[in-house]
Amino acid sequence: MRDEKNLNTIPVGPLALIPLLGCSELGGKVDAYLADWRRERENEHKTSITFSGYQKESYIIGTSVPRFGSGEAKGVLKESVRGDDVFIMVDVCNYSLTYSLCGQVNHMSPDDHFQNLKRVIAAIGGKARRINVIMPFLYESRQHKRTGRESLDCALALQELSHMGVSNIITFDAHDPRVQNAIPLRGFETVQPTYQFIKYLLKAEPDLCIDGDHMMVISPDEGAMGRVVYFANVLGLDVGMFYKRRDYTKIVNGRNPIVAHEFLGASVEGKDVVIVDDMVSSGESMLDVAKELKRRKARKVFICATFGLFTNGLSKIDEYYGNGLIDRVLTTNLIYQTPELLARPYYTSVDMSKYIALLIDSLNHDATISDLLNPTSRINALLERHKKEIAEKENTEKFEKSGK
């Protein structure tokens, strides 16, 4: 994945990494990759003035967002970023952080994280060479279209960042990528973690047989079909889809309640199935789909979602796992993960830090990221290795049996 094409291009500017409060753990991993690669990288121009500050022990710029007693705050930079190519990382879903508001303890909401992002951009004050924002969970991305008298919050947020001088926005698995139409003259990339999901699924389940006779990919609703079709195509598998039958005469918690999940597709009997979506919010829909698949005699059920919000806690998922209705849940470390989640026996955390480091490294050199955004060749190579490992294992077992 680390292509040497980056070596001979001049960086846009000295690299500066700003992981905001709530994204420090992921930011630290990304920083470690960047420091290691640039220390090992051989380049005859590395000592020239154009590569000034290229090799460092750490690229992280210290920041803070102190608050007044009223809850108001300000962004503070602890060192200069003049002329730097700045990458700001923000996790708007990290609710574990708190702040004091008139003596009361408040948990940080996505609104608070977005305000902190703007405060830090304001503290930079236009001195940076370029500002890039890495926001894995796109702020307000679930409010991506207007269906009545309502606000278009995601479009407004993107325009606000654009007006503040942000050149590139990198997000992961945007709920609807068409929100980028709000800022057509700015860089906007929505990245799919398909390769990482397949890699970690095979690592957790090394005996999986990936072919049309043994596995299917399932979309939990019509909205996820795009990512599911790509997932299935690169694996050479069939697709199945559920659609939600809703009661449009009622509104519960701001939405029409789901009456039933209807299935479209071939038989899943005896097959391993992978349910793919952009997020697990409360988890109710995913669990209903898993239950329906088990009722149709699916062998194993795996849930792959980029963002694991688990807004209703883990008790229902624990119950389904205990009853054999789900076998594994995979979500990324792009947003906050609770210690309780990481300790669950059915849970696999998909680490995205190396991928983010590769994107930053390429963008800092103004190199193309097309090969990173389209991982088909890497997925094919991974599947080839997996098939060889399965074949070698089967040959070993046959040999051992024949020896007996």
The residue assigned the tokens 């899943």 is: 268
Helix (H) or strand (E) holding 77: strand 76-77
In the predicted model, what is the mean pLDDT of residues 341-362? 96
**The predicted structure's pLDDT at residue 337:** 95
User: Strands 98-101 and 85-89, how do they pair?
Assistant: unpaired
CB 130 within 8 A of CB 12: yes
The amino acid occupying position 82 is R
Q: What is the pTM of this model?
A: 0.90
The residue assigned the tokens 């294992």 is: 393
**The predicted structure's pLDDT at residue 7:** 54
The amino acid occupying position 260 is A
Report percent pLDDT > 70 for the chain.
96
| Long-range CB pairs of 297-300, under 8 A, 24+ apart, other chains included | 297/268, 297/269, 297/270, 298/268, 298/269, 298/270, 298/271, 298/272, 298/273, 299/270, 299/271, 299/272, 299/273, 300/205, 300/272, 300/273, 300/327, 300/328
**The predicted structure's pLDDT at residue 4:** 44
What's the CA gap between 237 and 359, in Å, rounded? 29
The pLDDT tens digits of the residues spanning 91-130 come to 999 999 998 888 889 999 999 999 999 999 999 999 999 9
Q: Is the pLDDT of residue 266 over 80?
A: yes
DSSP structure class, residue 27: H
**The predicted structure's pLDDT at residue 390:** 86
Q: Is the pLDDT of residue 205 over 80?
A: yes
Query: Rounded mean pLDDT of the chain?
Result: 90
**The predicted structure's pLDDT at residue 252:** 79
The pLDDT tens digits of the residues spanning 291-310 come to 999 999 999 999 999 999 99
**The predicted structure's pLDDT at residue 5:** 45
Q: Is the pLDDT of residue 45 over 70?
A: no
The pLDDT tens digits of the residues spanning 119-167 come to 999 999 999 999 999 999 999 998 888 888 999 999 999 999 999 999 9
What's the CA gap between 257 and 252, in Å, rounded? 6
| Dihedral of alpha carbons 285, 303, 138, 378, sign | negative
Tokens of 78: 């602890």
**The predicted structure's pLDDT at residue 271:** 95
Helix (H) or strand (E) holding 372: helix 370-373
Q: How confident is the model at residue 315 (pLDDT cuts 50, 70, 90)?
A: very high
